[in-house]
Amino acid sequence: MEQIRKFTLEFFRSLKADVKEDGDVLVVSNVPKSFEDLFGKISPYQLCFSGGVKDCEFVGKGSAVLAAMTKYLEGSGKATLLKIDFDTHSGHKNLSGGIDPEVEIFKRLDLKNCEIANLVKKNRNNFFSRFTFMTTFRYLNESEQIVNEVYVHDGKVVNGSLDGYFVTEGSGVGCRVSELNTKKDYEIAREKVKELLKGRTAELGEMLSRKVDVEIARIKEHYGNQMRELGGDLGGTLEKVKEVELKLRTAEDSEKEGLRARLERLRNSLVKIGDDDSHARVLKEQEFTIKDVIHKYSLNVDNKLVNTTVIYYPVYSFRLCLKESGVRCSVAGNRRFLEMSYDPLTRSLGKIFCESCKKAISRLNLCSAGHISCDECLDHCSECGKVFCANCLKRSCSVCAKVLCKNCTTMCLGCGKYVCRNHMRKDCVTGDERCVNCLRVCLRCHGMAQERYFGEARDGSKVCSKCLGKENLSQRLKFSRD
């Protein structure tokens, strides 16, 4: 029992959870999500080590907590599949289905001259991953552990937290974690962890390198002395021999032994002078000692992936049919089908763009031809008065320059230009429709006809061939009467 208690204590401490000992009970809070999800319960936990304590989770052979801890450490709980249920909010069930498409749409979009005739909510699954890394820094006799949880969504690290979401054990999604491709997300998460560890790594690195510098300086001094004693410096050594001999003469008895030993060493080193071998040996020894010290003061960083959790949640697709405001459904007005995606996690609704200027809009106008338009791109047809988008109002009358919709323009077959209804007339000679620019007024009948149907009347005025024909006819009749 004591062993299990110790193990539990160490386990939660290494997870950087808050552990409090309250008599026989261990109160653990602030536990990493990856453990909570694996265990299936949200912290704080009240743990006890002998059965039958009220409101406590028993930890012992065969208990769920112990199993979860072992599983976590082994990494066999490495892959978890979780589902976020937006339709069920933690605690209270929302029968209407959690997310109301109309509410979400109207929060972001103002329907100006149209309304929703019909709306269907569909959903598909979207995924994101959470990686839990346990990093152990080892240096000198210390070891320090840090747990990091990184969320990756759509190829990017996100500030994730499942707090406040209703999470259920994933099932029915039709695939296992191993089948989902988390490799790319993992690479991204690993880079993020490196970044997160940078600060602590640098701190420890600096502390160790300061220590190692001191050690190396000490080693160099030590071997430097040896080298000096070894020689190269014959004069210096002789000097020292003389110095020690002098001291020995006047020294107290107690010092004599030390001085004699020193003298011995100096004399020996005199013999060794010029001995390259011993030189090289000292250098080599110094090199080894330095290497040893560097190794001893090195920082060992061990990153272990403890858990991968794939979290899936529904992304909605709202399929809606817009219709002109005030028009009854049975009446065939202009309609428009629209599909918007809604991500309940990021609470973002797919953007709607003006089909004329392509800008994203928050106020939607429906053009009479069913196009989506922003306020700026919407205008009236000067003829019929209906609202149209800029794309539908590209034509204008070549005579009066009025802006017109497609329905209100006619192309003149004489000049090929568009004109309004008012400036399109009937040729009084042929009955063809022509624009007023292609016609000329006959001063006799006040009708209009194309230039080529004009001729000179008897009084010299230009008249249409109809009037000309009448004149000729009456002339002939007059002749025949005469």
Chain residues binding Zn ion by CB under 5 A are 354, 356-357, 367, 369, 371, 374, 377, 381, 383-384, 389, 392, 397, 399-400, 405, 408, 412, 414-415, 420, 423, 435, 437-438, 442, 444-445, 447, 464, 467
Q: Is 291 exposed, middle or buried (0-12, 13-18, 19+ CB in 10 A)?
A: exposed
Which of 342, 376, 347 is closest to 359 using CA atoms?
376
> What is the nearest approach in angstroms of Zn ion to the Cβ of residue 109?
15
Dist CA 352 CA 355 (whole Å): 9
> Is 83 or 371 the residue whose CB approaches Zn ion more closely?
371
- Cβ neighbour number for residue 149 with a 10 Å cutoff: 18
Q: How far is the CB of 108 from Zn ion (least distance, A)?
A: 17
Q: How far is the CB of 390 from Zn ion (least distance, A)?
A: 6
Among 408, 366, 409, CA closest to 388: 366
State in angstroms the smallest separation of the CB of 353 from Zn ion: 8
Can you tell me the distance from the alpha carbon of 387 to that of 16, in angstroms, rounded to the nearest whole number? 64
Which conformational region is residue 4 in: left (phi greater than 0), alpha (psi within -120 to 50 degrees), or beta? alpha
DSSP 88: B
The answer to whether the CB of 184 falls within 8 A of the CB of 98 is no
Q: Which is nearer to Zn ion, 338 or 374 (CB)?
A: 374
CB-based contact 385:402 (threshold 8 Å): no
Q: Closer CB to Zn ion, residue 98 or residue 414? A: 414
Q: Residues 429, 465: contact at Cβ < 8 Å? A: yes
Tell me whether residue 69 or residue 372 sits nearer to Zn ion (CB atom). 372
DSSP for 180-226, written as a single string = S--HHHHHHHHHHHHHHHHHHHHHHHHHHHHHHHHHHHHHHHHHHHH
For residue 381, the minimal CB distance to Zn ion (Å) is 3
Shortest distance, position 474 Cβ to Zn ion, whole Å: 14
Task: Provide the 10 A C-beta neighbour count for residue 304.
Answer: 12
Closer to Zn ion at the Cβ: 64 or 413? 413
Q: Of 207 and 445, which CB lies nearer to Zn ion in the complex structure? A: 445
- The one-letter amino acid at 270: L
Smallest gap, in angstroms, from Cβ of residue 369 to Zn ion?
A: 4
- Retrieve residue 368's tokens: 């009479």
**Tokens found for residue 269:** 């080193």
Cβ nearer to Zn ion, comparing 99 with 377: 377
Q: Which strands sit side by side in the sheet containing 363-366, from one edge to the other?
A: 110-111, 363-366, 372-373
Pick 233 or 383: Cβ nearer Zn ion: 383
Task: Please report how close the Cβ of residue 118 comes to Zn ion at its closest, in angstroms.
Answer: 21
| Sign of CA pseudo-dihedral 232, 234, 239, 245 | positive
47 or 374: whose CB is closer to Zn ion? 374
Which CB atom, from 121 or from 380, has the smaller least distance to Zn ion?
380
Shortest distance, position 355 Cβ to Zn ion, whole Å? 7
H or E element that contains 302: strand 300-324
Nearer to Zn ion, 67 or 445 (CB): 445
Distance separating alpha carbons of residues 364 and 340, to the nearest angstrom: 13
Record the tokens describing residue 318, joined without a space: 């709202």
Is the distance from CB of 434 to CB of 414 less than 8 angstroms?
Answer: yes
Least separation, in Å, of the C-beta of 332 and Zn ion? 17
Q: How far is the CB of 454 from Zn ion (least distance, A)?
A: 9
Q: How many CB atoms lie within 10 A of CB 20?
A: 10
CA distance 60 to 336: 64
The DSSP bridge partners found for residue 45 are 28
